[in-house]
Amino acid sequence: MAQFEPHAKQIENLGSLIYVAAEKRGGMFKPEEYLIKRPIGFPFLLDEDRSVTKAYGVYQRLRLDAINIARPATFVINPQGKLNYIYVGKSQYDRAPIEGVLSALQDAKS
């Protein structure tokens, strides 16, 4: 989220953004408390049953750096529903380059 929030106005001009976290409402990272303390500019979905992350193929049951969560991933979907951009992190710290995401949003809008 931190990488996208500084670009909120630019993203809004190009399309929309939804954050998805494979996390329980009362989970270890306390997402509700986090969002109260650090408001964000886009909708946030808690994927408590992991159905969204499983549908997009980014769920991981067990790895050295993760248990029962999703790999960091960014998808850009155009208005017709076609995937224009996919980035799936190799670890929990690997994020999509913002320049690539903004470029894909621009392309999807065209």
**Which residues form the domain of 66?**
5-109
The pLDDT of 79-103, averaged and rounded, is 92
User: How many domains are there within the chain?
Assistant: 1
DSSP assignment of 28-69, as one string? TT-HHHHHHHS--SS-EEE-TT-HHHHHTT-EEEEETTEEEE
> What is the structure's pLDDT at 11?
93
Please give the model's pTM, rounded to 2 decimal places.
Answer: 0.79
3-state secondary structure of 82: coil
Cα 67 from Cα 61, distance rounded (Å): 5
Is residue 65 very low, low, confident or very high in pLDDT (cuts 50, 70, 90)?
A: low
The pLDDT of 95-105, averaged and rounded, is 94
3-state secondary structure of 20: strand
Question: How do residues 81-90 score in pLDDT, each as one tens digit?
Answer: 898 999 999 8
Name residue 3's amino acid: Q
Q: Is the CB of residue 32 less than 8 Å from the CB of residue 38? A: no
CATH code of the domain covering residue 21: 3.40.30.10
